[in-house]
Amino acid sequence: MYAQMVDTGLKEVRTADDMPPEERAFQARIDADIKIEPKDWMPEAYRRTLIRQISQHAHSEIVGMLPEGNWVTRAPTLKRKAILMAKIQDEAGHGLYLYSAAETLGISRDQMLADLHAGRAKYSSIFNYPTLTWADIGTIGWLVDGAAIMNQIPLCRCSYGPYARAMVRICKEESFHQRQGYDIMLAMSRGTDEQQAMAKDALARWWWPSLMMFGPSDAASVHSGQSAAWKIKLLSNDELRQRFVDQTVPQADFLGLTVPDPALRWNDETGHYDFGAIDWSEFHNVIKGNGPCNRDRLQARVNAWDEGAWVREAAMAHAEKRAAGAARAVASIQQQGRTA
């Protein structure tokens, strides 16, 4: 998902016997669905895992603006351009809500960005693929934002208050993203032969990377157990992936597009779609930094940060100068009051 393979730093799920009394009380609150708030006591591993998960999620929102930004100047109409800009602005907002939530755990914004820029923090594998045609923008909204919603709705109920509240805001805004994507796909799949070919090609390229967004299969997902006990992961990777396939295949059918998986078929017994094996070597390769766009994406972020430094410094200098001026004015009025 937007946060994939989040390391808990623990080898196995903590049991009540492992826990000192304060941790037992903490786990009891989580089990009773009481939210954990910033000033409450929490185990260090919970705090560190949440910082990793929330910052990874925030970085994904911010890096996720790059593949879409590629098409702002080339959107086919003014209306589509305005919509795309609104969507990209939302992604920036989502990143900001999430950075704020992570900061309540005691990490600074600058530290999170430094970790991203140095390659110590991850972002979702999905944003390392290129956006080659306008149909890619449609497919991202439809599939990538669709997959994000699937993951984020349960997170609205997660145990950490600031994260849960950020997710509520994000989910309210996210379905606009998915619908605008599907709307682009509707137009293209009913358009000229060339547009239909673009729609087909985009689905062929984005389908498998979208399924990989949910992370490794449950059997290979070593940290999921502890994250589930802490209620910062509410549904398993495979459960979410299956829901996504079940929901999305009929939407592709409606568009008249074929999902690029020869093994895909409806299973009457299970009431779900069966689908083919995912190429996990591709996923791990992208996570390691070797996807088609990893270097470009990170370089774009580092450049934006470095080239914006003078703006951040100038704004702060201006604010300090004005505050100093105001303080001098107050002092001089007080001085006059005393001498009068």
Interacting residues toward another protein by CB under 8 A: 37, 39-41, 86, 89-90, 93, 96-97, 100, 103, 108-110, 165-166, 169, 173, 309, 312-313, 315-316, 318-319, 322-323
Minimum distance, C-beta of residue 196 to another protein, in the bound complex (Å):
34
Report the residue number, 46 or 244, with the smaller CB distance to another protein.
46
Minimum distance, C-beta of residue 40 to another protein, in the bound complex (Å):
5
b/e string for 195-218 if b means 16 or more Cβ within 10 A?
A: bbebbbbbbebbbbbbbbbbbbee
Minimum distance, C-beta of residue 33 to another protein, in the bound complex (Å):
18
Report the residue number, 170 or 252, with the smaller CB distance to another protein.
170
Minimum distance, C-beta of residue 32 to another protein, in the bound complex (Å):
15
Report the residue number, 312 or 328, with the smaller CB distance to another protein.
312
Minimum distance, C-beta of residue 93 to another protein, in the bound complex (Å):
5
Q: How far apart are the first and last CA of the chain?
A: 69
Report the residue number, 78 or 311, with the smaller CB distance to another protein.
311
The CB density around residue 151, as the number of other CB atoms within 10 Å, is 25
Longest dimension (CA), the chain: 93
Report the residue number, 95 or 216, with the smaller CB distance to another protein.
95
User: Which two tokens mark 143?
Assistant: 């599939």
Report the residue number, 107 or 293, with the smaller CB distance to another protein.
107
User: Which two tokens mark 52?
Assistant: 């990793």
Q: How far apart are CA 299 and CA 285, in angstroms?
A: 19
Tell me how far CA of residue 182 lies from CA of 67, 150, 329, in angstroms: 17, 16, 58
The whole-angstrom distance between residue 318's C-alpha and the CA centroid of its chain comes to: 34
Q: Please give the DSSP secondary-structure letter assigned to residue 278.
A: P
Q: Are 210 and 144 in contact (CB under 8 A)?
A: yes
Of the candidates 67, 264, 244, the residue with the CA atom closest to the CA atom of residue 147: 244
Minimum distance, C-beta of residue 301 to another protein, in the bound complex (Å):
17
